[in-house]
Amino acid sequence: MVDLHGLELDPLVAAELPPWDDILGHLAARPLPAVAVLRAAAGEGRPVVQPRCGVGGQREMLALLGELEPAGPGILSVTIDSHTRLRRFDTATELLRRRPADLNGYPLVSHGWQRGRELTEAVTVPLEVRHGSPDGRDLFAVALAAGITSYEGGGIGYNLPYSKDVPLARSLRAWQQVDALCGVLATAGVVIDRELFGTLTAVLMPPSISLAVTVLEAVAAAREGVRCLSVAYPQGGELHQDVAALRAVRTLAARYLDPAVEVFPVLHEFMGVFPRTPEYANLLILQGGLLARLGGAAKVVSKTGQEAYGIPDAAANAAGIRAAALGASELLDFVRIDESRVAEEQHWIEREVAELVEPVLAHGELLPAIEAAFAAGRLDIPFSASIHARSQVVPRRDRTGAIRYADRGALPFSRPVLARHAALLREVDGDRPRSLIEAATADIHYFLEKESQSLTRAPYRTRSDTPSRF
């Protein structure tokens, strides 16, 4: 391994990088780093919109960014292919050479930092790398050399939802090195935005699990010197609960982080089973923009009307950006929500997060404490494919659509917290006898049911009935 200010790299990747002074100078000269966009959005009280986007070929990626920028995103994405995410750089390079269209994202390591700079210089807004790697060190180094100022991921959130058998010790320590290099850069005056992926498995995620994971990742990152954190939360579907969770980000940051660390709440629009009709899908995207504004988010990561049918095309992605931006605009300022209900939700979310994270933070060594907590089930993620999470937690929706704990597994919640969840879930099924898993499955398809109830006709009856214009 080659050491780049504490970041251990594959020698072949390290050999292709420019000198550190060149990387540092190029980053310092970026005209609009991501942190500046987030600061402006937070100051104006209106979140910027960011789409997900990434294709294999260089020409195609440049064209995609060029098609999306006129829609007005505040930040654009470079979504990375799955081979690069798993460090299969040779496979990604071979596919890039022979069939780049077969890649499900942009193989930045294979393209190299020079082509990465072509991307950053092709648009006027900053880029963020989104990937899903349990070990994103090599990708991070190439992203820095490319001039990319925002990098998503973390040792928990980019491991347990994506990988079956990557030990937490490995992913946590890989991301510790990434965060430590961000600290080195911050000392030199270059602030990298580190976004934490609170979405996790994106399936019925209780807000306190999402926020507990990001709090622990945030504390770990801040201890290594990170000075800009975007804390992401996934839209669950019940407006008051979602607004409360977003607002809790700032409260929790003030409680657990040094005030010198800038924290920006981020909303990921609904990541679960998406409505099939473009009209209802676009309504959900619009609502996501409104939710982001009501919750005080600095950024909303948008979805598209084609979400139920696979990877969206550029036109749908641009339309998704515009719909989310409209939802986040002053056009909907007349919308009022029950603030007392939001305050009650926020109180209980923050209490649940405290009951999850404070026993872990009480240990002297944070990373071993996180590993031990997941091994014992005191931290857990529902529906995780990883053998390093117990996945004993079973969430349910209550009668309002808010996500509760039907089975808390081994999470160390107090009696009042458990009593509240039990009370809120009581009578949710009425007289219908259903198993916990059957009921949770129905809750996962929550918006499909809403869609059916809202529309007078159902033109697309199955997932295979893709509208012809897609």
Length of the chain: 470
> Are 266 and 298 contacting, i.e. CB atoms less than 8 angstroms apart?
yes
Task: Please tell me the distance from the alpha carbon of residue 46 to that of residue 40, in angstroms, as a whole number.
Answer: 9
Strand partners, 300: 49, 267
Q: CB 299: neighbour CB atoms within 10 A? A: 30
The dihedral over CA atoms of 11, 157, 179, 231, expressed in degrees to the nearest 10, equals 140
Place of tokens 């800038």: 262
Task: Please tell me the distance from the alpha carbon of residue 160 to that of residue 110, in angstroms, as a whole number.
Answer: 25
Which of 52, 87, 130, 152 is catalytic? The answer is 152
| Cα 193 → chain centroid | 13
Q: CB 443: neighbour CB atoms within 10 A? A: 22
Q: Is 152 a catalytic residue?
A: yes
Which of 46, 85, 322, 396 is catalytic? The answer is 85
> Are 84 and 105 contacting, i.e. CB atoms less than 8 angstroms apart?
yes
Strands 76-79 and 127-130: parallel
Q: Is 85 a catalytic residue?
A: yes
Task: Please tell me the distance from the alpha carbon of residue 110 to that of residue 59, in angstroms, as a whole number.
Answer: 14
Strand partners, 9: 2
Task: Please tell me the distance from the alpha carbon of residue 180 to that of residue 191, in angstroms, as a whole number.
Answer: 12
Phi, psi (5° rounding) for residue 265? -65, 140
Task: Please tell me the distance from the alpha carbon of residue 269 to that of residue 287, in angstroms, as a whole number.
Answer: 9
The dihedral over CA atoms of 409, 415, 420, 423, expressed in degrees to the nearest 10, equals 80
Which is nearest to 127 in space by CA: 143, 110, 148, 146? 148
Active site residues: 85, 152
